[in-house]
C-alpha cells in the first residue's frame, strides 16, 4: 500500500519479538540481494498529522522543515520516524497549535529525547534556509 511501517509498529501487532523480526528482515534482504532502503520521513508526516488531528498547515510546515533539514544534511544517519515526529512537533509550534512533546511521542512511538534533538536540528536548518 506504500505506507511505511516502523519496526515498533510491526512488533506491536505481531506475536514475534523485535530482535527476531530484525534478524529475519536482514536475512531475507541479504539472501535476495536487496538493499535496505530507508523510508522517506515525508511519508510519515501525513500520517502523524492525521493521528494528531492538527491542521493541514502543520503538515505543510512539517514538509518544509524536512526539506530544509535535507538541504542541510540533517537526515544523514537519523531515523525517518524520529525526523517526521520532530517535524510535526516543530510545525505545530510554528503554526501556534500547541501539541506537547509527550503527545507527539505517544502518538508516533518516538522518545521525547529524540523529538527534542531532531526538533533543534530541524529548526536550525529551517532558519538557515530562510
Q: Are 91 and 55 in contact (CB under 8 A)?
A: no
Give the single-character DSSP code of 76: T
Domain with CATH 1.10.472.10 in the chain: 41-129
Q: Scan for cell 530544509, then name that residue.
A: 68
pLDDT value of position 100? 93
Is-above-0.95 flag for pTM?
A: no
**Quick one: cell of 15?**
506475536
pLDDT tens per residue, range 59-114: 999 999 999 999 988 888 888 999 999 999 999 999 998 899 999 999 998 999 99
C-alpha to C-alpha distance for 14 and 47, rounded to whole angstroms: 21
Beta strands in 22-82 (DSSP E): none
Provide, rounded to the nearest whole percent, the portion of the chain with pLDDT above 90.
Answer: 58
pLDDT value of position 113? 95
For the domain covering 41-129, report its CATH number.
Answer: 1.10.472.10
pLDDT at 28 over 70: yes
Amino acid at each position: 500500500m506504500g505506507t511505511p511501517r516502523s519496526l515498533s509498529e510491526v512488533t506491536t501487532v505481531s506475536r514475534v519479538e523485535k530482535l527476531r523480526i530484525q534478524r529475519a528482515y536482514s536475512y531475507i534482504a541479504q539472501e535476495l540481494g536487496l538493499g535496505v532502503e530507508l523510508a522517506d520521513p515525508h511519508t510519515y508526516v501525513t500520517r502523524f498529522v492525521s493521528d494528531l488531528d492538527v491542521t493541514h498547515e502543520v503538515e505543510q510546515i512539517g514538509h518544509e522543515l524536512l526539506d530544509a533539514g535535507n538541504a542541510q544534511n540533517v537526515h544523514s544517519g537519523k531515523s525517518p520516524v524520529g525526523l517526521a515526529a520532530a517535524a510535526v512537533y516543530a510545525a505545530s509550534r510554528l503554526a501556534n497549535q500547541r501539541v506537547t512533546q509527550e503527545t507527539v511521542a505517544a502518538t508516533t512511538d518516538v522518545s521525547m529525547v529524540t523529538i527534542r534533538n531532531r526538533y533543534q536540528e530541524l529548526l536550525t536548518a529551517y532558519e538557515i534556509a530562510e
